[in-house]
Structure 1
């Protein structure tokens, strides 16, 4: 996760959270015991936790990047009420163990599954997940993989400055490996369902730039002293696509839920 070093402040300000429809879907997928426990893996600045606070009482938020946890603390603490219990943990997902007898009912992996040692993480998760608990893996298309004309234009500028191959911090992005559904089916959570949740967004150019600086493929430090030139090039590239000052994006979250095969249904 050090591919995201230096991105935390941009991530909090400019990464879109999850839509209400996805939060509702996750709520309905998970069992409803009390206290209701959520474990968010790769929490970043806490965007997923923030959306799910109305549905869960007892939350662990885990991230491997300390600066992300600082942002999560600042974002989440003011949103808590007296019924909430929030604990932030600096750890790799594959190494994390909750306190004894703390068993999550929902484990969320939003935009993070690619970065994990997935079989190792799922094996560890099977040690402490509630018997009827659900693991949810979900992500939307990033600017690198999205295909609207303005997004392609912005991506081409990134490639002009940083090279055709997708970056991952100071390294390069590796192939995603087997389909996530296959990975889940090979784990203890082999009862897998899938869904798609659509989302429509509008962006200002300044937000597009902030979003890019939140990513592993266009982190600010990668541009060195060419930041001004990069920002001007992105502005020039996407300006023709503005509609009343905004850039429209049609995106979707692909959501996989996995549970132990002996458990049927979420509620």
Structure 2
């Protein structure tokens, strides 16, 4: 499978919002407290979730199907790994990943990636990869495509003016899932589902907004071809109409679904 984020790892690492500390701490409470304490992060990208959870787990496997993402994660995370923690970064699609023999996760995390996966197949596959009392956490925040403020709506309109009304996903278009993730999870081995939200407030500037857009599948630089500079200039011009200080505030939230096997 060709990654929709080929060439975006640098932008992803630098401009995708990181995982808040309070969310990492809450996720850690979803896993049994024992040693070794094992985490499997699926669709790790550049390792933002694995990094946030480093203080809480002693044996971490993080996988992604994009070699560039894994290489960037390796460079960013390796110097931060505690001496008592084992971190393994592996190139694999979620549908194909297999852990070492006998290795079972206490917690599986899938952040901002579940919509790209064969969801039922991945959850079924995890049944043999998760400890009996372990959990699967699927979570994400809203992308800029969901325009919940005037300035985001204006940026989305610029993207649509250049690339068309439909949300792009690489060379194709984004296919929305009609079923809530919790409903899908309730039909999986991890059918006992808890939901919670973690609010987050962020501040952006034009540079970070453009960097974020370059990290996405719907506004990746290659989609604009020779019009990339024109696109970036248009975004800058539009944003200047919404702030005199190049400051843009965002209220967002992570929606988290934690699935466990029935007691």
Contact 2:41 2:50 in 1 (8 A): yes
TM-fit CA distance, 1:4: 1.3
Q: Distance in 1 between matches of 2:24 and 2:135?
A: 14
Listed as ranges, the matches of 1:202-217 within 5 Å are: 202-217=203-218
3-state secondary structure, aligned to 2:115: helix
- Unaligned 5+ runs, structure 2: none
3-state secondary structure, aligned to 1:153: helix
TM-fit CA distance, 1:243: 5.8
TM-fit CA distance, 1:240: 2.2
CA RMSD of aligned residues (A): 1.0
Match of 1:60 in 2: 61
Between the two structures, name the one with larger relative contact order (CA 8 Å, sep ≥ 6): 1
3-state secondary structure, aligned to 1:31: coil
Contact 1:105 1:132 in 2 (8 A): yes
TM-fit CA distance, 1:66: 0.5
Match of 1:153 in 2: 154
3-state secondary structure, aligned to 1:107: strand
| Cα distance change of structure 1 residues 133 and 36 upon mapping to structure 2, 3 Å threshold | same
Matched residues, number: 262
Task: Name segments (4+ residues, structure 1) moved above 3 Å.
Answer: none
TM-fit CA distance, 1:176: 1.4
Match of 2:200 in 1: 199
Match of 1:37 in 2: 38
TM-fit CA distance, 1:154: 0.5
Contact 2:162 2:231 in 1 (8 A): yes
Match of 1:138 in 2: 139
TM-fit CA distance, 1:140: 0.3
Contact 1:202 1:247 in 2 (8 A): yes
Contact 1:5 1:169 in 2 (8 A): no
Q: Distance in 1 between matches of 2:72 and 2:97?
A: 20
Listed as ranges, the matches of 1:208-227 within 5 Å are: 208-227=209-228
Task: Say whether residues 1:189 and 2:190 are aligned partners.
Answer: yes
Match of 2:28 in 1: 27
Match of 2:84 in 1: 83
Q: Distance in 2 between matches of 1:100 and 1:169?
A: 35
TM-fit CA distance, 1:98: 0.4
Q: Distance in 2 between matches of 1:91 and 1:177?
A: 26
Match of 1:179 in 2: 180
